């Protein structure tokens, strides 16, 4: 399969490298890593074993990539105002678009531009960071859950899940993408926001009893907002939140993406991870007061970050 990777950060480079290593024909849209990867290839330092790709098909414009069978979007949502122009040159009549971006609203943006029949979404449970140019550090996890934007469990979704599994990436196709999106937010909203605001990693946050309780309360608010969204099955609040907390306790001093973005003076993904979920919850009569306060504090603090 000919694959175009739009958004070659830690997520895009890791998943793209896994797919290329398995034999897929992957083409990366590169920015800051372009020259390093052209000269030295792509290095993955992984908890599952390091590997190096000496030759990588990298490009500086989407027009150079041309039409592909599958577009994978790993772009940060803060760049979504460029998303349509980046994806358009890669599309053919039957091209599928799989967005692995955080938060809500990404599939809708693509569906409005290209038609819902082209669009799938996925949630990635990946612990990875970029190192020096041309290097990605895979610290743990990596599972993907993907599904059709239009809903239902399709053969296309099953085939893409199998493609990732063959590449060594655990992947499931799901029939309710909306539920999978909200499940990821149950983790993203508390840990990304608190780590960026407090400048503390997940271990520090969970080791402090009051902040650990705040994590749980934020999770309960996300679950309440999720369960009002006409999901196929509700999310079980206490059980699911405890599962995520236990999971995170094993992430030794992991720094979420928003913490890294704040440290590097980069904009935070507040629209997709906070504003749109708050709007969708409010639209069905659910007020997420603590999340609204967290969003307000993050938005306020953004104004004081030098860029």
Tell me: do 185 and 154 sit in the same domain: no
Helix axes 289-302, 276-283, angle to 10 degrees: 150
Q: Alpha carbon of 174 to those of 17, 39, 178, 298: distances in Å? A: 24, 39, 10, 32
Number of structural domains the chain divides into: 2
In a domain, 307, yes or no: no
Tell me: do 131 and 217 sit in the same domain: no
Average pLDDT, the chain: 96
pTM, to two decimals:
0.95
Determine the average pLDDT of the residues in 196-201.
96
Q: What is the pLDDT of residue 141?
A: 87
Residue 93 scores a pLDDT above 90 = yes
Indicate the pLDDT class of residue 147, thresholds 50, 70 and 90: very high
Q: What is the pLDDT of residue 34?
A: 96
Residue 76 scores a pLDDT above 90 = yes
Cβ contacts of 250 within 8 Å, gap of 6 or more: none
Residue 306 scores a pLDDT above 90 = no
Indicate the pLDDT class of residue 303, thresholds 50, 70 and 90: confident
Q: What is the pLDDT of residue 305?
A: 82
Residue 29 scores a pLDDT above 90 = yes
Tell me: do 157 and 198 sit in the same domain: no
In a domain, 223, yes or no: yes
**End of a domain among 150, 175, 200?**
175
Report the candidate in 190, 176, 192 with the shortest Cα–Cα distance to residue 219: 190
**End of a domain among 175, 192, 212?**
175
Query: What is the rounded (10 degree) CA torsion for 240, 246, 251, 254?
Result: 60
Residue among 184, 200, 287, 290 flagged as catalytic: 184
Indicate the pLDDT class of residue 304, thresholds 50, 70 and 90: confident
pLDDT in tens, 210-254: 999 999 999 999 999 999 999 999 999 899 999 999 999 998 899
Tell me: do 171 and 252 sit in the same domain: no
Tell me: do 9 and 151 sit in the same domain: yes
Q: What is the pLDDT of residue 77?
A: 97
Q: Which residue segment(s) compose the domain that 216 sits in?
A: 179-302
Asked about 287 being catalytic, the answer comes back as: no
Q: What is the pLDDT of residue 194?
A: 98
Determine the average pLDDT of the residues in 92-110.
97
């Amino acid at each position: 399969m000919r694959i175009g990777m739009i958004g070659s950060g830690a997520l895009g480079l890791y998943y793209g490298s896994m797919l290329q290593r398995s034999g897929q024909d992957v083409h990366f849209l590169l920015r800051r890593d372009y020259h390093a990867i052209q000269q030295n290839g792509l290095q993955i330092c992984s908890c599952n074993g390091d590997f190096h790709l000496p030759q990588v098909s990298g490009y500086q414009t989407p027009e150079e990539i041309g039409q592909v069978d599958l577009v994978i979007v790993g772009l940060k949502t803060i760049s979504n105002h460029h998303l349509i122009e980046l994806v358009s040159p890669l599309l053919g009549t039957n091209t599928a678009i799989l967005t692995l971006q955080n938060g809500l609203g990404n599939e809708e943006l693509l569906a409005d531009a290209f038609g819902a029949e082209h669009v799938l979404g996925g949630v990635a449970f990946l612990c990875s960071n970029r190192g020096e140019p041309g290097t990605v550090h895979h610290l743990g996890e990596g599972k993907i859950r993907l599904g059709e934007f239009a809903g239902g469990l399709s053969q296309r979704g099953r085939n893409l899940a199998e493609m990732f599994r063959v590449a060594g990436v655990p992947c499931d196709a799901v029939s309710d993408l909306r539920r999978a999106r909200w499940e990821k937010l149950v983790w993203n909203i508390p840990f990304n926001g608190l780590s960026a605001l407090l400048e503390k990693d997940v271990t520090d946050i969970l080791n402090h009893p009051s902040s650990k309780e705040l994590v749980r309360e934020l999770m309960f608010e996300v679950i309440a907002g999720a369960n009002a969204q006409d999901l196929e099955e509700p999310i079980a609040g206490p059980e699911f939140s405890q599962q995520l907390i236990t999971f995170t306790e094993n992430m030794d001093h992991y720094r979420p993406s928003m913490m890294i973005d704040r440290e590097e003076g980069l904009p935070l993904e507040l629209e997709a991870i906070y504003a749109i979920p708050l709007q969708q919850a409010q639209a069905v009569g659910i007020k997420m007061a603590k999340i609204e306060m967290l969003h307000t504090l993050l938005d306020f603090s953004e104004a004081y970050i030098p860029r």
